């Protein structure tokens, strides 16, 4: 299929799709400016990080690395791309020739998918020729922001369910094709049991779930005949939607009748029912009573209908008899806070092999950046296995595990703590070295299990939905000193006016 045929068919991506042009236009205009000033070979460092956890939560979940890798592997510019850029009148032939010969040559580090994250720590670090490191900003942010947002929301919903399966049902509510497919992928990383999105199951080998819609029930002459037909088609996996007409007076009784008259004579059991409307607490309690009285204690009850972590928590608190949840729009769109807020900021440049730290200064403290080429470390208590704190250091710093280590709040510096009996591990892992991928993408089950294991290292207080305990991300003394020196130098250059209101 040609590009024109693919576009006409409404298909916006496939295994050969190149997203090099999925970039903000100013990335390209800046890049031409670098080339015009003979800066194309200068080495720059960028950090991708976020400033606050969505919904004021205690943590976020890293996701999107696999798609970032796929994008960077395919990064190139076609003749059609160059013709379009030429038509804008913004680019000279020297810059278009640069793009024609483009070969990705950056170093990239990233925190592995499934890792719990906290504000201000680099999720991705890029080092390379300034044009290359600059122009990948948009796609890296798009990929990491979206999937980390959905994984973070999914982790909260999975936690609320207290071990009950969460099925991702949001394909029809997502904002576009990629949001549907990659959102379901991110939800699975964070603990969802599966998805209704068939193409996601095909591409990522994620378990699929789906039974029937109300239309299936309505198209038959009566509800019983619909249930019977479905049971005969799927005798080993019969799950019936019981709220098309009346859950307790029609739906559940007809499901029980099918179980006894159609399935049990064939040696089969009714696997479950699903309720998609009404007072889910009352209806599930009563449905459970009717099923148990009919000898169907093994029949599971699934509910759906605009659920999120708060509704799920309330349903279980009220004693609802629910075995599994189908969660759609509020998961796939992260409806309560649909923006992750990751940013991509310059942190250093290289001059004659020396790393020169750079800082963005703002009167809004939250928008100040941490300078230099950095590493991120996580401390674990040896006795409990729980994560204690994260530390951002300059690249090259080491943290000995055989002696005490003092950490301190980078703003309220008098708040200090000496850590002992700890283990520590670096979080940023090499992904590309000089443009060559050196990272083996893990399979979905491995990523999902890793995410579960890492969430278990967080204290319960950090995982609260409301007013979670703050998990500290501190700066090393060396990094803090560099940051303070840059702030002082900036203030001196502005005659003491920097930072004044």
Kindly state whether residues 385 and 249 are assigned to the same domain: no
24 lies in the same domain as 133: yes
pLDDT of residue 15: 55
Q: Looking at the domain assignment, is residue 286 inside a domain?
A: yes
Model pLDDT, residue 492: 84
Domain edge (last residue) among 305, 326, 360: 305
The predicted pLDDT at position 500 comes to 44
Same domain, 350 and 462: yes
Token pair for 490: 């900036």
The last residue of one of the domains, among 305, 320, 347, is: 305
Strands 374-381 and 387-394: antiparallel
Please give the tally of structural domains in the chain.
2
Interatomic CA distance for residues 336 and 407, integer angstroms: 34
Asked if residue 181 belongs to a domain, the reply is: no
Range of the domain at 217: 211-305
Residues 286 and 406 in one domain: no
408 found inside a domain: yes
500 domain-assigned: no
CB 51 within 8 A of CB 345: no
- 301 and 357, same domain (yes or no): no
- Supply the pLDDT for residue 364: 80
The pLDDT tens digits of the residues spanning 179-227 come to 999 999 999 999 999 999 999 999 999 999 998 999 999 999 999 999 9
Q: What is the pLDDT of residues 131-143, one digit of tens each?
A: 999 999 999 999 9
Cα angle value 26/28/33 (rounded, 5°): 95
Q: In terms of domains, do 23 and 139 share one?
A: yes
What is the CATH number for 300?
A: 3.20.20.70
Instruction: State the pLDDT at residue 14.
Output: 56
In a domain, 186, yes or no: no
Residues 342 and 400 in one domain: yes
Cβ distance 323 to 296 under 8 Å?
no
What pLDDT, on a 0 to 100 scale, did the predictor assign at position 496?
Answer: 53
The token pair that represents 48 in the structure block = 């991708």
- Specify the pairing of strand 272-275 against strand 239-241: parallel
Looking at the fold, whether 145 and 59 belong to one and the same domain comes out as yes
Residue 158 lies in a domain: no
* Last-in-domain residue among 305, 327, 354: 305
pLDDT digits (tens, 9 = 90+) for 325-354: 999 999 999 999 999 999 999 999 999 989
Could you tell me where the DSSP H helices lie in 319-383?
A: 329-332
pLDDT < 50 stretches in the chain:
1-12, 498-501
CB-CB contact of 291 with 256 (8 Å): yes
Q: Per-residue pLDDT tens for 279-315?
A: 999 999 999 999 999 999 999 999 999 999 999 999 9
Residue 157 included in any domain: no
CATH of the domain at 40: 3.20.140.10
Are 141 and 230 found together in one domain?
no
**Would residue 106 count as lying in a domain?**
yes
CA distance 95 to 82: 10
Q: What is the pLDDT of residue 455?
A: 98
Residues 287 and 418 occupy one common structural domain: no
Strand 473-475 to 387-394 pairing: parallel
Q: Do 254 and 350 fall into the same domain?
A: no
Q: What is the pTM of this model?
A: 0.94
Model pLDDT, residue 494: 78
Please indicate, yes or no, whether residues 300 and 385 belong to a single structural domain of this protein: no
Least Cα distance to 348 among 171, 194, 135, 126 occurs for 126
């Amino acid at each position: 299929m040609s590009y024109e045929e693919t576009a006409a068919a409404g298909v916006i991506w496939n295994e050969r799709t190149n997203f090099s042009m999925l970039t903000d236009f100013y990335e390209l205009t800046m890049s031409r400016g670098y080339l015009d000033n003979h800066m194309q070979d200068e080495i720059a460092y960028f950090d991708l990080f976020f400033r606050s956890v969505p919904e004021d939560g205690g943590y976020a979940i890293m996701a999107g690395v696999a798609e970032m890798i796929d994008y960077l592997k395919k990064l190139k510019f076609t003749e059609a791309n160059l013709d379009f850029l030429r038509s804008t009148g913004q680019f000279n032939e020297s810059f278009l020739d640069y793009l024609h010969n483009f070969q990705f040559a950056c170093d990239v580090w990233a925190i592995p998918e499934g890792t719990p994250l906290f504000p201000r720590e680099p999720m991705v670090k890029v080092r390379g020729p300034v044009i290359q490191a600059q122009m990948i900003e948009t796609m890296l942010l798009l990929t990491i922001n979206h999937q980390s947002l959905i994984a973070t929301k999914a982790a909260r919903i999975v936690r609320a369910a207290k071990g009950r399966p969460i099925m991702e049902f949001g394909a029809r509510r997502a904002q576009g094709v990629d949001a549907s497919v990659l959102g379901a992928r991110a939800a699975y990383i964070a603990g969802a049991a599966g998805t209704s999105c068939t193409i996601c199951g095909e591409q990522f080998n994620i378990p699929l779930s789906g039974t029937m819609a109300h239309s299936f029930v309505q198209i038959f002459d009566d509800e019983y005949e619909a249930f019977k037909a479905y049971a005969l088609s799927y005798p080993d996996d019969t799950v019936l939607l019981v709220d098309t007409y009346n859950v307790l007076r029609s739906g559940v009784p007809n499901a029980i009748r099918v179980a006894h008259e159609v399935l049990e004579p064939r040696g089969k059991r009714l696997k479950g029912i699903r309720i998609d409307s009404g007072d889910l607490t009352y209806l599930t309690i009563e449905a459970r009573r009717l099923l148990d009285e009919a000898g169907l204690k093994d029949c599971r009850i699934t509910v759906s209908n605009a659920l999120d972590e708060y509704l799920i928590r309330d349903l279980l608190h009220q004693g609802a008899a629910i075995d599994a949840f189908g969660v759609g729009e509020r998961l796939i769109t992260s409806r309560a806070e649909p923006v992750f807020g990751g940013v991509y900021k310059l942190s250093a440049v290289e001059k004659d092999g020396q790393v020169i730290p750079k800082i963005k200064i703002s009167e809004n403290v939250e928008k100040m950046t941490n300078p230099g080429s950095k590493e991120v470390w996580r401390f674990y208590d040896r006795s409990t296995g729980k994560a204690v704190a994260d530390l951002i250091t300059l690249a090259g710093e080491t943290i000995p595990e055989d002696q005490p280590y003092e950490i301190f709040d980078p703003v309220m510096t008098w708040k200090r703590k000496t850590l002992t009996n700890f283990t520590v591990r670096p979080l940023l892992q090499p992904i590309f070295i000089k443009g060559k991928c050196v990272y083996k993408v893990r399979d979905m089950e491995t990523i999902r299990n890793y995410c579960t294991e890492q969430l278990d290292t967080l204290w319960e207080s950090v995982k609260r939905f409301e007013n979670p305990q703050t998990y500290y991300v501190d700066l090393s003394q060396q990094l803090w000193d560099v940051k303070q020196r840059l702030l002082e130098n900036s203030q001196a250059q502005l005659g003491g006016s920097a930072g004044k209101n």
